[in-house]
Amino acid sequence: MARGFFVSFEGVDGSGKTTQMRLLEGWLLERGVEPVVTRQPGGTAVGDRIRALLLDSRTGNLDARTELAMMFADRAQSLAEVIEPALGAGRVVLCDRFTDSTEAYQGGGRGLGAERVRAMHALVCGERMPELTVLLLPPLNVALRRARRRNERAQSQTGADEGRFEAEQDAFFERVHAAYRAIAEREAVRVITIECAGDAQAVQVEVITKVEPRLRAAGVLR
């Protein structure tokens, strides 16, 4: 049985990572590869309940350590229920956020530190990390404007409230952004950084240009 291949998509809110993940899903389907697509937090029944607490702006007074523990509780369930079974079956997994997000948001944004997050990852996830990470880093002001506009639109149309993080001050996101850059420098082989701020199609061209050789080298594409 073919070995599975794990790809994560990362970036600050509003970076376009979810759009690019879905575009890559479609591109793979056109080439006969049907990936398993999931997200964190969420992607399982338990994870969706955790997500609702973590992202709802009405969730107040949440200690940073509680937030960290909840992120990894969600991740443990996702690994057990979705990611590991799919990889074990030789599937490609596309995941919207993984531990890099926790290192950036809780480690950097909340000030808990990268080492604490990485120690938690080792405890909960062992050595499991994506083979490839696509990190989208458009200008921070552009990403935040998109994210806040998107959340306002979603809340007015559906009543869904996932704006808890977007309500943070810009200084929080500056720390998140800097943490992502530090991860990219440390993990230069695993992480592909895309800084294009163009439309989704222009960004997709850059993503495919950089991702396709890695997928071919791994035997995902022939």
Tens digits of residue pLDDT in 184-215: 999 999 999 999 777 899 999 999 999 999 99
Domain borders along the chain are 5-217
Listed range (33-37, 139-143, 162-166, 206-210) with the worst mean pLDDT:
162-166
Question: pLDDT-derived band of residue 26, with 50, 70 and 90 as boundaries?
Answer: very high
The model's confidence at residue 154, banded by pLDDT at 50, 70 and 90, is low
CATH superfamily label, 5-217: P-loop containing nucleotide triphosphate hydrolases (3.40.50.300)
How many Å apart are CA 180 and CA 6, to the nearest integer? 19
pLDDT score recorded for residue 1: 41
Q: Are 12 and 19 in contact (CB under 8 A)?
A: no
> Is residue 143 pLDDT above 90, yes or no?
no
Helices 45-55/64-78 angle, 10° precision: 160
Helices 64-78, 114-125: crossing angle, 10 deg rounding: 30
In tens, the pLDDT along 166-192 reads 888 999 999 999 999 999 999 999 999
**Contact between 132 and 190 (Cβ < 8 Å):** yes
Nearest to 94 by CA among 126, 130, 58: 130
Mean pLDDT score of the chain: 93
DSSP sequence for 78-137? HIIIIIHHHHHTT-EEEEE--HHHHIIIIIIISS--HHHHHHHHHHHHTT---SEEEEE-
pLDDT value at residue 2: 62
Number of residues assigned to the chain: 222
